[in-house]
Structures are given as structure tokens and as C-alpha cells.
Chains A and B, each alone.
Chain A
């Protein structure tokens, strides 16, 4: 069980770097969807035993993070006919290096943390995914890629939350998932309007409001 969890966590890191390196928006969305699927399976593996809570959580996670949200984001870029490249402010090579830096920092920090009962890779992978999500959020100009970054940030926190999943009741898990879903849904609607007003979903054009 433990080695399976470690394998899944390594795959989560791979999807992090996939998002950093891919130039096509639809590929980034696919990578985040794959990450959502991995998280769903991971929650089952970490739970250990088959329980209603574990299965419900895994099912909810996969539905929201791997199916509904990616599908919705793809709809948003198709309807908005966004140019396909992600247009980073920082080059792909540089953002990969930032990602590698984030990974090193995460492992260094996690090694100094007090121990938890969860698989040893869980905390560093959570931190790395969180930081890489922030990197994507800050360095990409397309509003859609910012949503992808936000989803990764949220995924990192979710992985950390798995250390506590057995203790947090189902109602809370459901509430958290629902909030993430509605949050991205609202962002998607705003994206759609941004495109209609500005003819492109680039956050750099959103610069009328300043002191």
C-alpha cells in the first residue's frame, strides 16, 4: 500500500512539471485533470481500508477535479477561441528551474517538520504542488492558466489535507469540494465575459484600475 502511495505521489510531481513545461493550454488542462484523477486514487490508498467516507471522497474528487472542472475550462477556451499558447511571462526553461527549486525547498522544509503518521512523501509533494501552483498563477498571463495555477494550489492543499482525511468528517470534505467547484465555476463565467469584452483572455489587459 505504502509503495503504491509513493508511486502516485511521484506521478503528482510529474504532472506539476508537465504543466510548467507545456505550451498548449489544452495540454495544461489535461495535465491538471490527470492530477485530479491521481488525487482521487491517492485518497483511497491513504485511507487504507474501504469505507463509505473514503469511497465518497475519492468519487467526489475525481468527479470535480478530473471531470467537471477540466471539461468546463476546455469549454471556456473553446467558446472564447483563445489562442492556444499559454504566453508565460517567464520562459519555459526558467519556470522549470523555478519548479525544481520549489521541489528542493519543499523536501528541505519537510525534512525538518515534526513527523506525521502519513507516507513520508506526502508533505513534500503537497508543498511542492502548492508552490508550483503559485508559480503558474503568477507567471502566466492568460486568465485560464491562472485558473489552472489556482487548481494546482488547491490540489497541493488537498494532498496535505489527506494527512488528516480520516479525522475530518465527510460533510466538511463535501463542503470543501463544493466550494472549489463553485469557485472555479464562477471564475469560468468571468473568463467567458472577459473574452467577450476584451477579445482575448489575457490578464495583462486587465490594467485599467490603478492608483
Chain B
């Protein structure tokens, strides 16, 4: 029952937030829903979980980990939005709040769906719920960004729908086997038609890959993240991309169960490495900090499919990395957003001397720089280490070497920009004066930072168990 509530509660709250006129009530609905959602999600970790809707909704390891990530990230972003929205007009606030809640409903549906067509419906809904949020500034540049986003994502999501139909074609009609229900697909995996299954995976990779922002289908990403408000960037880079990863992982799971991992893996490896190359090429010499974060997201999506394609420890690392990446993206987008608001521009040349102007946010940005590039003691170090050592153990030394080299290049590129923004002197006379930073705007990112730090040294036992379970279902193994 609580599974259904996780989807329906935010959906109802979204409708309510759109029609209610009182700003305080709306904020209450947003924060209340976010809190309740997190409580319900936490409940799933504690009590045995029974499937809902006749097995269409269920919480397995992978789904539960990503649902928890999204729920947590959403609560932080909702708190931040509470501060951010005070500067907006009443109508904008209504649409914004409603869009955020609709996203939460759709994302919960994606993570809990064990019916792949239902998963697709949720994925498309996350895409659409983001559109009004990206267009929040109502100017030419954000209009262009939202158009590119809509057209490219819609084509991607259409290809993912084709993948779902192809998978249904691969499944022979047998009594008792419900079409497109994950558990029945896995149970009957040996009898799936090989040809249709391969075709289905190719389209799933192209479709969900577009939504994840894998190169070369990443072109919407820098434009969208660059123009959208930074809290929307946090939701997209940490939430929407993780949902798309779930979609791709479900197809990988079916292929692995059918013994076709050998077909899926080289494809995943190729897209992963190419994304790392593209990210490195565009991060070095990037002039806009939000676009820099977008390419960093391309990098991390590349690492995710790389891990998925490696198998073994790599897959374990990939699942852990979804969690780490989502948390760190939320953290960085929000604090970078504070600096951008203070400087009035996201061009790195305009953001200077932030250690004096916004000391708390600037410190968090510098810490985030080390976290996002996978330095110890942060969680991303562990997950990237698992992926790279997975490559060595699965006899891909060249992949490991190339990944390490590209990660080093990316580190230098990101470090140069961030350090200049925080420590550099501004050329012009006007530097933003030091101002007290609102508690709403730094508390959330700080909490995320603490979590990422914790994940770098300590994984709670239940999390470790679910991670291992998720890795095994995806054809990998736990260290």
C-alpha cells in the first residue's frame, strides 16, 4: 500500500499546489509532501515490502536505493526552493511548485515500476514535468533551451517506447507469464527471442541514453543545465538522469538473465568511454560554470554505463555511483547556484572572489570540487575505485587506464575554474559585497555534503546488502 502512496501522494499534492492560492499553504504542501515521502521511503527499508498493483509496483534493491536518493534530494531541493521562490511572482511559484511535485510522483513511479511500460510512462512524465521548470526565467535563452530539451528528449523517449514494444515482441505468449512484467521476464528469460531482445536493447540504450545524457546524445544537456535555475539542475542531474539509469538497468537486467550480457557489455563500454572523452574535451577550457557541471554530469553518466558494461565489481561500483553522483550533484548545483545568484551571471569570468563575498557557499563549492572529481575521503572515490578496479579484474586494463587518464584531465579542468571563482580577483571594480547567506540556501547542501563524506568511509549494513543484491541482478558481483 505504501508503494502506491509514494506515487499518488506527490501526484495529488501537485494538483493541490496548482490550484491553491495561499503561498504559505503551497510551501507547506511542498515541504510536507517531501518529508512524508522520505518517511515512507525510510519505512520501506525497515519493514518487509509487499508488491502493489498485482506485482506492477515493487521495491527491489536497485529501485529502493534510487528511490531513497531521489526522495532525499527532493527534500533538500524543496527546502532550497522555499528560499529561492520568495523572489518569484505568484503565478511562477504555483507552476514551479506543482512541476516539482509532479516530478517526484513520476520519479517514484520509475523507480518502483516492475512493469516496463509503466516505467516508460513515468519516465516520459519526469521529462514533461521538468519543462516548465527549465523555462522558469521566461527569456529567449531559456526558451531555446527548453525547446531543444523537449525535442531531443521526446525523440529519445519515443525510441525507449519502441524498445518496450520490441521487448514485448521478444516475450512469447505463455499462460502465467504477464507481458512486460519484470519478474516474469526474468523468470522466463531463457525462452525470450534473442533477435528481438537484442534489437530492444539497442533502442533502450539510445532512448534512455538520451535521457541520461550519454555522448553523443548529450547535446541538450549543457544548454538545459546552463539556462535552468540551479535547483532545477540539481533535480535533473541528480534525479532525472538516475531515473533514466534505472530504465537502462532494467533492460540490462533482462539481457543478463537471458545470457546476452556479452551483447550488451561492449555497447555499454563504448558509450561510457566516449562520454568520458567528450566530457573531458569540453570541461577543459569551459567558460560557464553551469555548463561545466553539465559536462561533469556527462562524465558521471559515462562512468555509470562503463560500470554496468564491465560487470563484476564494476556493476557494484555503478550502483553505488548513482547514489554518490546524485547526492554530489544536488550539493554542487545548489551552492554554485548561490554563487551565481550573488554574481548575477554564470560566466566563470564574472564569478570571482567568492570566498570573501559568500564564505560558506564558497567553502562548500571547493569541498564539492574534490568530491565530484572522486578524491578521497568522499563517497565518489569509493565508487569510482570500484569501477576502475572492476575494469582491471575483468581484464580490461586499457579501459581502466583510459578512464583514469580522462578522470585526471577532468580534475584539472574543474579545479582550475572553481579555484579561480573562489579565490581569483575580479577585474572590474564591482565585487558583490559580503552578505549573510540564508539558512535555507546552505543547510541542504551541507547535509548532502556530510552524507557524501559519510559514504566515503562507512556504508550502513542494510545499504551494503541492497547494493550487493542490485549488483548481482545486473550481472555483476559484490566485493
Contacts and interface: CB of A to CB of B under 8 A. Distances in A.
**A associates with B:** yes
Contacts of A163: 165, 169
A186 B146 CA distance: 10
Interface stretch (B120-128, B400-408, B416-424, B444-452): B120-128
Interface string A161-197: 1011001100110011011001100110010011001
A203 B145 CA distance: 12
A73 interface: no
B176 to A, nearest CB: 13
Chain B interface SS verdict (over half): helix
Given A150-B154, A172-B121, A208 B144 contact: yes
Contacts of B226: 209
A206 interface: yes
Interface in B122-171: 124-125, 127-128, 131-132, 135, 138-141, 143-148, 150-151, 154-155, 158, 161-162, 165-166, 168-169
Contacts of A137: 151, 155
Which among A182, A187, A190, A197 has the highest number of chain B CB atoms within 10 Å?
A190
A114 B171 CA distance: 13
A163 B196 CA distance: 13
A175 B193 CA distance: 27
B55 interface: no
B165 A157 contact: yes
Given A164-B165, A167-B168, A179-B128, A193 B117 contact: no
Contact of A208 (B118, B141, B169): B141
Interface size range of chain B in the complex: 35 or more
A176 B123 CA distance: 11
Contacts of A150: 151, 154-155, 158
B150 A186 contact: yes
A190 B135 contact: yes
A209 B147 contact: no
A42 interface: no
A113 interface: yes
Which among B154, B168, B282 has the highest number of chain A CB atoms within 10 Å?
B154
Contact of B169 (A146, A164, A190): A164
A71 to B, nearest CB: 20
Nearest to B116: A172
B141 A209 contact: yes
B144 A114 contact: no
B151 A197 contact: no
Contacts of B150: 183, 186-187, 190
A116 interface: yes
Interface in A122-136: 130, 134
Interface residues of A, number: 39
A176 B117 contact: yes
Contacts of B223: 209
Which among A113, A198, A208 has the highest number of chain B CB atoms within 10 Å?
A208
B180 interface: yes
B94 interface: no
B143 A168 contact: no
A179 B147 contact: no
B173 interface: yes
B461 to A, nearest CB: 38
A167 B135 CA distance: 39
Contact of A186 (B128, B179, B195): B128
A153 interface: yes
Interface of A: 113-114, 116, 130, 134, 137, 143, 146, 150, 153-154, 157, 160-161, 163-164, 167-168, 171-172, 175-176, 178-179, 182-183, 186-187, 190, 193-194, 197-198, 203, 206-209, 211
10 contacts: A160-B162, A160-B166, A172-B117, A176-B161, A183-B127, A186-B128, A187-B150, A208-B144, A209-B223, A209-B226
Q: Which 7 interchain pairs have the tightest Cβ spacing?
A: A175-B121, A179-B124, A167-B179, A172-B117, A206-B144, A209-B223, A164-B168
Interface of B: 115, 117-118, 120-121, 124-125, 127-128, 131-132, 135, 138-141, 143-148, 150-151, 154-155, 158, 161-162, 165-166, 168-169, 173, 179-180, 193, 195-196, 222-223, 226-227, 282
